[in-house]
């Protein structure tokens, strides 16, 4: 299990590095009017990957240092990945809706409610962190 955990961590770090390089490159070389709809969509997907992987790595490092039991590091990685995906997806979605000028306070409240419900559901499942 330890070998798989390290492979997952390396894959998440590589995804972060690749998406961060693409994100910085796109900030300096493109603008939304030149990209078109497909390019803007890929830009937001890249943002989602970058945020999710960064948050996953940060949460994993914090939770693994706090944990006294080093046997459940794979569970910590799964929980960190879930949290990273939830935060990355919700922030990317909010930014995408804001860029389309389709964001209202109701959308924000609904998204926050969904994120909280998903997190509570996974935290209350048996055998989860």
- Residues sharing a CB contact under 8 Å with residue 109, sequence separation 6 or more, in sequence order: none
Contact 13/37 with Cβ under 8 angstroms? no
- Domain-embedded: residue 30: yes
Whether pTM > 0.75 for this model: the answer is yes
Angstrom distance (rounded) from CA 81 to CA 88: 10
Q: Does residue 129 lie in a domain region?
A: no
Q: CA-to-CA distance for 77 and 12, rounded, in angstroms? A: 11
Q: Is residue 6 part of a domain?
A: yes
What gap in Å lies between CA 35 and CA 28, rounded to an integer?
13
Residue 68 lies in domain: 2-124
- The per-residue pLDDT for range 90-122, each reduced to its tens digit, is 999 888 888 888 888 898 899 889 989 988 888
pLDDT at 5: 82
* Structure confidence by residue, pLDDT tens digits, 47-93: 999 999 999 999 999 988 887 777 788 888 988 999 999 999 999 98
pLDDT at 69: 72
Overall number of domains in the chain: 1
């Amino acid at each position: 299990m330890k070998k798989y955990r390290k492979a997952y961590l390396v894959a998440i770090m590589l995804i972060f590095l690749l998406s961060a390089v693409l994100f910085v490159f796109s900030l300096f070389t493109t603008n939304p009017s030149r990209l078109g709809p497909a390019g803007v969509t890929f830009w937001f997907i890249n943002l989602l990957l970058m945020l999710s992987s960064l948050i996953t790595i940060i949460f994993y490092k914090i939770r693994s240092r706090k944990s006294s039991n080093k046997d459940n590091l794979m569970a910590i990685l799964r929980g960190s990945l879930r949290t990273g995906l939830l935060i990355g997806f919700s922030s990317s979605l909010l930014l995408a809706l804001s860029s389309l000028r389709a964001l209202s306070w109701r959308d924000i409240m609904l998204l926050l409610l969904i994120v909280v419900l998903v997190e509570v559901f996974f935290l209350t499942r048996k055998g989860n962190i």
